[in-house]
Homo-oligomer: A and B are copies of this chain.
Amino acid sequence: MTAQRRVVAEVLDGEHVHLTADEVHARAAAKLPEISRATVYNTLGELVSLGEVLEVATDRRAKRYDPNAHRPHHHLVCAGCGSIRDVHPAGNPLADLPDSERFGFTVSDVEVTYRGLCPNCAAKA
């Protein structure tokens, strides 16, 4: 556990945010100015493979890192500004996929992404 890893973990701690690697780097650098982008990427990658943080890739923009790995949830994404909210829809989409639609795959996970415009972007449009 180095100082660099600690500040990255601190940045992601607590609130349900969905930060890009650059945003994590900016916030980490506020506490530890000499931290490099490479280290932020390395540390985020480790947290992801430990299952502590989820990667959310909603489009061709930067991936977002989600510390809310404990409770399963899905995402509502604004097509305008890219902002993300956690959502907990009813229903179980895994159960909605019949065997006849699985083609012999071992289906382990399902990801549901709602898209639309946030109030802010809807007002501008």
**Contact of A110 with B105 at beta-carbon distance under 8 Å, contacts A87-B97, A97-B87 already known:** no
- Closest residue of B by beta carbon distance from A88: B101
Residues of B within 8 A of A69 (CB): none
A107 at interface, CB cutoff 8 A: yes
Chain B residues with CB under 8 A of A72:
none
Contact bitstring A95-122, B, C-beta under 8 A = 1, else 0 = 0111001111111111111111111001
B115 touches A109 (CB 8 A): yes
Instruction: Indicate if A124 sits at the interface (CB-CB under 8 A).
Output: no
A59 at the interface (CB under 8 A from B): yes
* Shortest CB distance A125–B (Å): 9
